[in-house]
Amino acid sequence: MELQIVQARLWALKMPLLHPFASSEGTVATKDALLLELTDQSGRRGFGECSAFATPFYTAEFQAGAAAFLQHLVLPRVVGHGYHHPDDFDQQVANWQGNQMAKAAVNCALWDLYAQRQNQPLAKALGGERAAAEAGISLGIQASPAALVEKVAQAVAAGYRRVKVKIKPGHDLADLRAVRAAFPTLMLMADANSAYQLTDAAHLRQLDELRLTMLEQPLAPGDLIEHAALQAQLQTPLCLDESITTLADAQAMVQLQAGKVINLKVARVGGLSAAKQILAFAQQAHLDCWVGGMLDSGVARAASLALATLPGITLPNDLSASTRFYATDIIDPPLTLQGSQMLVPAAAGLGVEINWPYFAQVATLLGDFTM
């Protein structure tokens, strides 16, 4: 039977990070997000997170804009609507451009409900085959190479076997060389969040000596042609993050040879349905693929973890324990590291419970839609 949405509740979340997180695009000290709860006709509740930050520093979406899009346009059409499959929602809003992170919240909440109704973990419902996903940690820009090496040492001691380091001009070669000297065999990569230009190619070529697993998003999101020109000059594989918001972007990336790896984020591509499609394409095009993060709360983290169990995920993910960023998570129990892996929850749907007492401290109700 199709699932019918009878209620939608939307909250704004403000979660304090344990430490400010610095990238070339700016520093985040508090994670702003939206949490969406959809209730079906049987009273089951599904959850989806909208990862848009308070300001549009990462992509064009931002929290208040996403909230307006959901409240004014999307949720009034979702409540009272029936869905045979979460993909149906993507069809329903296909004529509305962009707004991937807002759309992702609805698509993910529908997947949570869909899997619960089949009494399956979300990972299984998506077609996942692994019981665990390879973890990885993303480290923000630090004050000095020595401070960065110390952070990497802590991460390695905690179990992480793949470490990503944020870089920008002035915080790149010396930092990465120090890490490589201290950890000669570590799976190490760098993420520039668009901080460079094609004219920096000779500078970036010096990274080749460091045997990085990849260099993520060196150039601007729209610069696929420039990424192709840069890739032709580098041995280090390029990974695209901000550049890939649709399947068409991934197709253009392959056509232009703009890189060899995709950082697949549920939020950035508009949800799990779109992520599955891009992953299937990437697999067939022989691109490496791994699941990225948005300083996520446990709700988005659990959805990303489910995605990371799919065939086609070929490299460790930006999937870290709840305690990587937060003293307390909005889910209970929090997600933890088992060795170098994250175990997939066994319960149906997302498989995690909301920690409502803590949730009440960090959430503000924005809207409550009923039939």
Active site residue ranges: 166, 265
The rounded Cα 366 to chain-centroid distance in angstroms is 24
Among 164, 191, 209, CA closest to 316: 164
Q: How far is the CB of 318 from Mg ion (least distance, A)?
A: 8
Find the residue with minimal CB distance to ligand OSB.
293
Among 39, 59, 100, 138, binds ligand OSB (CB under 6 A): 138
Q: Is 345 helix (H, G, I), strand (E, B) or coil?
A: coil
Among 87, 90, 112, 241, binds Mg ion (CB under 5 A): 241
CB 138 within 8 A of CB 162: no
Residue 63, contacted partner among ligand OSB, Mg ion, none, CB below 5-8 A by kind: none
Two tokens, residue 63: 């929290």
Closest CB to ligand OSB among 243 and 355? 243
Residue 233: how many other CB atoms lie within 10 Å: 12
In whole angstroms, what is the distance from residue 359 CA to residue 348 CA?
21
Asked if residue 294 binds ligand OSB (CB under 6 A), the reply is yes
Q: Which single residue is written with the structure tokens 């992953």?
A: 279
Q: Is 122 helix (H, G, I), strand (E, B) or coil?
A: helix
Percentages of the chain per state (helix, strand, coil), in multiples of 5: 35, 25, 35
Closest CB to ligand OSB among 40 and 241? 241
Pairing of strands 238-240, 261-264: parallel
Asked if residue 292 binds ligand OSB (CB under 6 A), the reply is yes
Q: How far is the CB of 189 from Mg ion (least distance, A)?
A: 10
Cβ neighbours of residue 95 under 8 Å, at least 6 residues apart? none
Residue 58, contacted partner among ligand OSB, Mg ion, none, CB below 5-8 A by kind: ligand OSB
Residue 198: how many other CB atoms lie within 10 Å: 16
Stretch that binds Mg ion, among 122-130, 145-153, 211-219, 221-229 (CB under 5 A): 211-219
Binding mask 235-274 for ligand OSB (x = CB under 6 A): ------x---------------------------------
Binding mask 169-208 for Mg ion (x = CB under 5 A): ----------------------x-----------------
Strand arrangement of the beta sheet that strand 132-134 belongs to = 132-134, 341-343, 337-338
Name which of residues 302 to 361 contact ligand OSB (CB under 6 A): 318, 320
What radius of gyration, in Å, describes the C-alpha atoms of the chain? Answer: 20
Q: How far is the CB of 259 from ligand OSB (least distance, A)?
A: 14
Asked if residue 298 binds ligand OSB (CB under 6 A), the reply is no
DSSP state of 179: H
Q: How far is the CB of 306 from Mg ion (least distance, A)?
A: 20
Cβ neighbours of residue 198 under 8 Å, at least 6 residues apart? 219, 223, 226, 229, 230
Stretch that binds Mg ion, among 70-78, 143-151, 174-182, 239-247 (CB under 5 A): 239-247
Q: How many residues bind Mg ion (CB under 5 A)?
A: 3
Residues found near ligand OSB in the complex (CB under 6 A)? 58, 138, 191, 193, 241, 292-296, 318, 320
Residues found near Mg ion in the complex (CB under 5 A)? 191, 216, 241
